[in-house]
Amino acid sequence: MIRIRRVYDPAFEDEGLRVLVDRLWPRGVRKADLAMDLWAKDLAPSSELRQWYCHEPERFPEFSQRYREELRHALTPQHTVLAAALHGNVTLLYAARDPLLNQARVLQQVLMHRCAARARRSKAS
């Protein structure tokens, strides 16, 4: 299962690998206080894309498309997050205010798609 949660929400026991997917450290959160296993800056949107998007809802469709393109190169088959998603629970952590229009939601969809594709290939073998 691949979940997404704000970094400001409390952690639960069954969340599996907890991965921060923001390029910048979240405001107001001490590193010692964030229950996290991995900070995957390499899976966060590029600084240029993040600055262009600026959390403007009307830009989200294009942001999502551009970010998916970045993920095509960043999310390799050997990436720790993809491997964890294939074998257990993963929780993607983000700091954005909007729970629907953020990079973690896009990454969640990409991971789910890749996991489903891998499962289909396994069944066909």
Contact (CB, 8 A) for 86 and 56 = no
Q: What is the per-residue pLDDT across 44-59, written as a single tens digit (0 to 9) for each?
A: 999 999 999 999 999 9
Burial of residue 76, with CB atoms counted within 10 A of its CB: 0-12 exposed, 13-18 middle, 19 or more buried: exposed
pLDDT at 125: 66
pTM as predicted: 0.93
Structure confidence at residue 30 as a pLDDT band (50, 70, 90):
very high
Query: Distance between CA atoms of 5 and 30, rounded to whole angstroms?
Result: 17
Q: DSSP assignment, residue 26? A: P
